[in-house]
A and B are shown apart, each in its own frame.
Chain A
């Protein structure tokens, strides 16, 4: 059990481009932190630096109170689970799990005790004498997790461990890993590009893009108070709607306008956005903060617009409705039972208290 600190970590493979740039991150003891971001953003590189599989170009990594930059992986007291399991095909499940302990010269009894215990937790007892090729993907991933937990490391590292599994298995393993975390009370760093995994599993989420950390916060904060345009667009499905327009002042009230459409800012927003009058901004609003006027509680002339239905995606519990008018395309998350036909016009109400404004150049969230 230990905390992990990244102090100004950078990594370059070719001395030209940075795969990871100036990352600062404090991971508390027993915390479950998820690194999430698009492909190639440097998640794996960051994790592999913590593991010691990749050298650190600059900066300092600490596990516990120890700077580990130059300590080889085997002495860092970490365990890692890989996307493609990386089990040893010539060893049985038991031997796969016992291998690390054997190398560390644990006694035979201790080894079999630990392996059996882990096998029990993970429900892989019946497979202990099979070879990896005789297992299904989900079972293999369990063995890979088992191999990590028998070592009782200070930190667990997961690199997209579930992305080779089918959807159902993924959901099941997701809860299992969460449960495992509660049970083992060990620091875990989990890499994924799946935002659902990030939202559901992490105590805190680290959103990365192009090698840089965009925001570190708990899932709800990330969702409701994204620090910039990237985080706002990356987390959430369907993603946040963005509109490029302008802030104008109509007397004491501010309005956001795009072509024919104008929306009035709430009082709170008014204060924050005062200095942006007559400037271009990007407004963002989540699909579930757009309502059908027929059912909206707070419809007024100043937060309602008309748009025509383009496509309706029925999800059963809800309905993603893709809408279009002369000034914008956007998506709203409406009740599954609404009767909507593509091509029909409808009136929509924007919950302006829940919208965000971003600066177009830097992408910074101006209201949070």
Chain B
């Protein structure tokens, strides 16, 4: 008996050591980034400790204002929010239609969407560029947003459709008898039940939009329209020497994603339909 317990705790200890190691290796760069963002320009090369001797919070304000970082940040925020909003709106309506309505060509259309999921986005960059060019959308916000909405839709539709498919027919029937129109079923019943799926969609698309670099790099020449990822590159190029400010900018960039994740995590609760219908 005693031996078993010892084994158990030994193996547990091993696992813990391993996991702590992984955490440290993930967190260290982050911590280093945050620490560096608070150091002075001189200290960054001389003081290797993770604890700055002098906290220079002004790096943040300087990055925000002087380095146009604020513009990039707000651009990114705008792109991300807009893209997500339309992805959620369109994908939930489309998924609801695919799942709950009958219309000709429904299956073919759906499989087309699924098929599109298999094409990697960079594979269609040339096509996107040509189309945007013909529509004179190069170097515009709309030109940057539309392809990203498009790219996010298939997976989101697929995910939400599987979710809506699981909503029992009786729930829809009972909503109809309660007085719901199709739109009201979508709004009052289907959407709230798909909350956790929507949270997943928001997180995934927030990540990909926030971190998107290639498309932005391709279509933007006007610095006022650029999102963070391209902006940071420019920033680095222009101010090679301003490491603390660059780090401050990167800290803010990362913080957004972490906050989004922590916030949305609450909504990802399993078994959201549990108890609705006896299973």
Query: What mask results when residues 164 to 182 of chain B are scored 1 for a CB within 8 Å of chain A, else 0?
Result: 0000101101111111100
Give B185-218 interface residues, CB cut-off 8 Å to A: 188-189, 192-193, 195
Q: Is the CB of B177 within 8 A of A73?
A: yes
Interface residues on B, range: 20 to 34
Query: A211 at interface (Cβ–Cβ under 8 A)?
Result: no
Give B220-274 interface residues, CB cut-off 8 Å to A: 272-274
Q: Is the CB of A74 within 8 A of B180?
A: yes
Query: A42 at interface (Cβ–Cβ under 8 A)?
Result: no
Known contacts A80-B173, A80-B174, A99-B188; is-contact A86 B180 (Cβ 8 Å): no
Residue in A closest to B276 when the chains form the complex, CB atoms: A89
Among the listed B171, B173, B178, B274, which residue makes an inter-chain contact with A100, where contact means beta carbons less than 8 Å apart?
A: B178
Residue in A closest to B181 when the chains form the complex, CB atoms: A74
Chain A residues with CB below 8 A from B179, complex form: 74, 100, 103-104
Which of A85, A86, A100, A147 neighbours the largest number of chain B CB atoms within 10 Å of its CB? Answer: A86
Among the listed A48, A82, A103, A131, which residue makes an inter-chain contact with B184, where contact means beta carbons less than 8 Å apart?
A: A103
Q: Is the CB of A87 within 8 A of B176?
A: no
Task: Give A72 to B170 CA distance when docked, in angstroms.
Answer: 16
Query: A329 at interface (Cβ–Cβ under 8 A)?
Result: no
Chain B residues with CB below 8 A from A164, complex form: 278
Query: B275 at interface (Cβ–Cβ under 8 A)?
Result: yes
Query: What mask results when residues 123 to 148 of chain A are scored 1 for a CB within 8 Å of chain B, else 0?
Result: 00000000111110100100000010
Query: A230 at interface (Cβ–Cβ under 8 A)?
Result: no
Chain A residues with CB below 8 A from B278, complex form: 84-85, 137, 140, 164
Among the listed A80, A85, A89, A140, which residue makes an inter-chain contact with B177, where contact means beta carbons less than 8 Å apart?
A: A80
Chain B residues with CB below 8 A from A140, complex form: 275, 278
Task: Give A48 to B172 CA distance when docked, in angstroms.
Answer: 13
Q: Is the CB of A90 within 8 A of B173?
A: no
Chain B residues with CB below 8 A from A36, complex form: none
Chain B residues with CB below 8 A from A53, complex form: 173, 176-177
Q: Is the CB of B277 within 8 A of A85?
A: yes
Chain B residues with CB below 8 A from A103, complex form: 178-180, 184
Query: A119 at interface (Cβ–Cβ under 8 A)?
Result: no
Residue in B closest to A98 when the chains form the complex, CB atoms: B178
Among the listed A48, A72, A89, A99, which residue makes an inter-chain contact with B275, where contact means beta carbons less than 8 Å apart?
A: A89
Query: What mask results when residues 96 to 119 of chain B are scored 1 for a CB within 8 Å of chain A, else 0?
Result: 000000000000000000000000
Give A11-53 interface residues, CB cut-off 8 Å to B: 48, 51-53
Among the listed A99, A134, A135, A137, which residue makes an inter-chain contact with B178, where contact means beta carbons less than 8 Å apart?
A: A99
Among the listed B174, B193, B195, B274, which residue makes an inter-chain contact with A82, where contact means beta carbons less than 8 Å apart?
A: B174
30 A-B residue pairs with Cβ-Cβ distance under 8 Å, sorted by A, are A52-B176, A53-B173, A53-B177, A72-B176, A78-B177, A82-B173, A82-B174, A84-B168, A84-B170, A84-B278, A85-B276, A85-B277, A86-B171, A87-B275, A88-B175, A88-B189, A89-B274, A89-B276, A90-B195, A90-B272, A103-B178, A103-B184, A131-B275, A132-B276, A133-B275, A133-B276, A134-B275, A135-B275, A140-B278, A164-B278
Please give the residue numbers on chain A whose beta carbons come within 8 Å of chain B beta carbons, in ascending order: 48, 51-53, 72-74, 78-80, 82-90, 99-100, 103-104, 131-135, 137, 140, 147, 164
